[in-house]
């Protein structure tokens, strides 16, 4: 596993001679304690929630998910307390850090930090742990190939500049203010997503009086070309083709395109055209039936046999209306019900796609509903852009302020 995180900066601590007045370099373990508290009977201790690594969102100091102890059989025995900083020591490159907002139980792959003594204020600790310098040290001290872990015995040796307490408070106030703005935008993103889901749930239901018909009656469903075919004595051509990795949930990832050999007389059969809806045959449960519209991004592009190409009759069914419908709770429920399930993955076949009971109102109604959801999609895209800029600002401010290079009063 690489020891660098994409997008990080050189965050080596400056020497004491280059630090502002009153600042001094300290070891992490001299001002921070790794609290290793055990609780064998959490329910008796009136603890209700537990936190695993899967509950901590990368780059987000706020816990949005957790499990309920009464509903689960878990072996976690490590206790954390409100206000402590939770750090994921396994696969540290995921940058999982959160501030506990309640008491609970957590995985042993989570370290629980709190200030030791009074040299460091609690409000600044989360940003020190979230800094590029700390993660660079964590990655450099991680060991293991498949699931690298760092250890407290090595993390405690991380050195960083510590300002006087009044400066710590000013820095913490600035960084928490940025974090609050980011959190507002995250909440807006969740609200837009919830509104979109609710609109789709209300619209895509058989009781709305729309015509219900098998997808194959209003669209051509085509399976793609299989790899490994050999052609003897017939003209062939090498062309780019779409794999499952290229067809993501609602968008295309075309950074890595591969080519395949195909007979000249079969090119049109497997060629994707503008307006085609691309669907993958397998993946995570929540991505079954995902649809992405081909806009002609790559010239003369084909599709693999694991990618279905659905070509709606433009006089009856809009491609955008179909993609929203397959992604709706109505569409997901259908594909999940008929899918073949193995472990945490599922797959569908072309027959099941062809038999999808698509709801088909008149084109005017389709255009109207697509317009509404398009507005929400644009809003979501704008929010993502703002979040990306704010995340970058937070990282830069964290680096500048914690290294003592710049001061904002």
Residue-wise pLDDT tens digits, 298-325? 999 999 888 999 999 999 999 999 999 9
- Using pLDDT thresholds of 50, 70 and 90, give the confidence band for residue 405: low
Q: What is the pLDDT of residue 18?
A: 77
Specify the residue for token string 């055209």: 273
Residue 409 confidence (pLDDT) above 60: no
> What average pLDDT does this structure show over 177-194?
97
391 or 18, which is more confident?
A: 391
Average pLDDT, the chain: 90
136 or 230, which is more confident?
A: 136
> What average pLDDT does this structure show over 187-205?
96
**Burial letters for 323-349: b for 16+ Cβ neighbours within 10 Å, e otherwise?**
bbbbbbebbbebbeebbeeeeeebbbe
Which residue from 201, 130, 138, 157 is spatially nearest to 26, judged by alpha carbons?
A: 157
Q: What is the pLDDT of residue 13?
A: 61
Of all residues in the chain, what percent carry a pLDDT higher than 90?
71
Q: What is the pLDDT of residue 47?
A: 94
Which of 12-16, 67-71, 144-148 shows the lowest per-residue confidence on average (mean pLDDT)?
12-16
Residue 10 confidence (pLDDT) above 60: no
The DSSP result for 325-357, as a single string, is HHHSHHHHHHHHHHSEEETTEEE--HHHHHT-E
**Which DSSP helix (H) or strand (E) runs through 49?**
strand 49-51
Specify the residue for token string 């009063």: 409
Q: d(Cα 252, Cα 325) in Å, to the nearest integer? A: 18
Q: What is the pLDDT of residue 248?
A: 84
Q: What is the pLDDT of residue 305?
A: 87
CA distances to 3, 47, 52 from 44, in Å: 42, 7, 20
CA angle (125 as vertex; 67, 149 as ends), nearest 5 = 60
Q: Are 97 and 88 in contact (CB under 8 A)?
A: yes
CA distances to 111, 309, 387, 389 from 182, in Å: 25, 39, 6, 10
Residue 5 confidence (pLDDT) above 70: no
Q: d(Cα 347, Cα 285) in Å, to the nearest integer? A: 9
**Phi, psi (rounded to 5 degrees) for 116:** -110, 120
Q: What is the pLDDT of residue 345?
A: 79
First to last CA, the chain: 40
Q: Are 220 and 311 in contact (CB under 8 A)?
A: yes
Residue 278 confidence (pLDDT) above 50: yes
Q: Are strands 104-106 and 49-51 parallel, antiparallel or unpaired?
A: parallel
- Using pLDDT thresholds of 50, 70 and 90, give the confidence band for residue 20: confident
Q: d(Cα 136, Cα 116) in Å, to the nearest integer? A: 23
Which residue from 341, 215, 329 is spatially nearest to 279, judged by alpha carbons?
A: 215
Specify the residue for token string 């072309």: 350
Which residue from 224, 206, 384 is spatially nearest to 310, judged by alpha carbons?
A: 224
Q: d(Cα 283, Cα 232) in Å, to the nearest integer? A: 35
286 or 200, which is more confident?
A: 200
pLDDT digits (tens, 9 = 90+) for 52-91: 999 999 999 999 999 999 888 888 999 999 999 999 999 9
Residue 9 confidence (pLDDT) above 50: no
Q: Is 380 exposed, middle or buried (0-12, 13-18, 19+ CB in 10 A)?
A: middle
- Using pLDDT thresholds of 50, 70 and 90, give the confidence band for residue 15: low
- Using pLDDT thresholds of 50, 70 and 90, give the confidence band for residue 2: very low
Q: Which residues fall within 8 angstroms of residue 378, CB to CB, at 6 or more apart?
A: none
**Burial letters for 186-203: b for 16+ Cβ neighbours within 10 Å, e otherwise?**
bebbeebeeebeebbeeb
Which residue from 369, 358, 367 is spatially nearest to 211, judged by alpha carbons?
A: 358
> What average pLDDT does this structure show over 37-50?
92
Residue 146 confidence (pLDDT) above 70: yes
Q: Which residues fall within 8 angstroms of residue 153, CB to CB, at 6 or more apart?
A: none
CA angle (382 as vertex; 377, 294 as ends), nearest 5 = 45
- Using pLDDT thresholds of 50, 70 and 90, give the confidence band for residue 220: very high
Specify the residue for token string 């999982």: 96
Q: d(Cα 232, Cα 358) in Å, to the nearest integer? A: 42
> What average pLDDT does this structure show over 181-204?
96
Which residue from 166, 169, 188, 167 is spatially nearest to 177, judged by alpha carbons?
A: 169
> What average pLDDT does this structure show over 343-361?
90
């Amino acid at each position: 596993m690489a020891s660098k995180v994409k997008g990080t900066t050189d965050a080596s601590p400056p020497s004491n001679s280059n630090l502002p007045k009153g600042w001094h370099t300290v070891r992490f373990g001299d001002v921070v304690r790794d609290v290793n508290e055990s609780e064998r009977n959490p329910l008796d201790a009136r603890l209700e929630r537990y936190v695993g690594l899967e509950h901590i969102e990368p780059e987000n100091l706020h816990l949005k998910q957790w499990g309920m102890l009464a509903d689960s059989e878990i072996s976690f025995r490590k206790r954390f307390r409100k206000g402590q900083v939770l750090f994921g020591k396994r696969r540290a490159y995921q940058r999982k850090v959160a501030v506990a907002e309640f008491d609970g139980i957590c995985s042993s792959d989570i370290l629980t930090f709190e200030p030791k003594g009074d040299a460091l204020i609690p409000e600044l600790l989360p940003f020190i742990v979230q800094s590029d310098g700390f993660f660079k040290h964590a990655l450099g001290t991680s060991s293991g190939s498949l699931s690298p872990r760092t250890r407290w015995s090595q993390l405690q040796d991380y050195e960083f500049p510590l300002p006087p307490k009044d400066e710590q408070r000013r820095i913490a106030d600035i960084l928490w203010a940025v974090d609050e703005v980011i959190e507002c935008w995250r909440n807006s993103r969740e609200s837009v997503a919830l509104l979109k889901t609710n609109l789709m749930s209300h619209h895509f239901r058989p009781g709305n009086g729309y015509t219900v018909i098998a997808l194959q009656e209003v669209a051509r469903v085509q399976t793609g070309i299989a790899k490994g075919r050999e052609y003897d004595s017939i003209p062939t051509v090498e062309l780019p083709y779409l794999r499952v990795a290229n067809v993501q949930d609602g968008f295309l990832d075309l950074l890595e395109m591969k080519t395949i050999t195909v007979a000249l007389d079969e090119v049109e059969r497997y060629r994707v055209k503008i307006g085609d809806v691309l669907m993958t045959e397998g993946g995570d449960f929540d991505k079954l039936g995902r649809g992405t519209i081909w806009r002609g991004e790559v010239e003369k592009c084909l599709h693999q046999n694991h990618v279905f190409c659905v070509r709606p009759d433009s006089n009856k069914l809009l491609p955008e209306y179909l993609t929203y419908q397959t992604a709706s709770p109505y569409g997901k429920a259908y594909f999940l019900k008929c899918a073949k399930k193995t472990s945490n993955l599922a797959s569908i076949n072309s027959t099941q796609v062809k038999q999808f009971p698509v709801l088909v109102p008149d084109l005017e109604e389709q255009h109207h509903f697509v317009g509404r959801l398009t507005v929400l999609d644009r809003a979501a895209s704008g929010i993502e852009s703002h979040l990306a800029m704010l995340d970058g600002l937070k990282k830069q401010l964290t680096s500048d302020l914690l290294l003592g290079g710049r001061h904002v009063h």
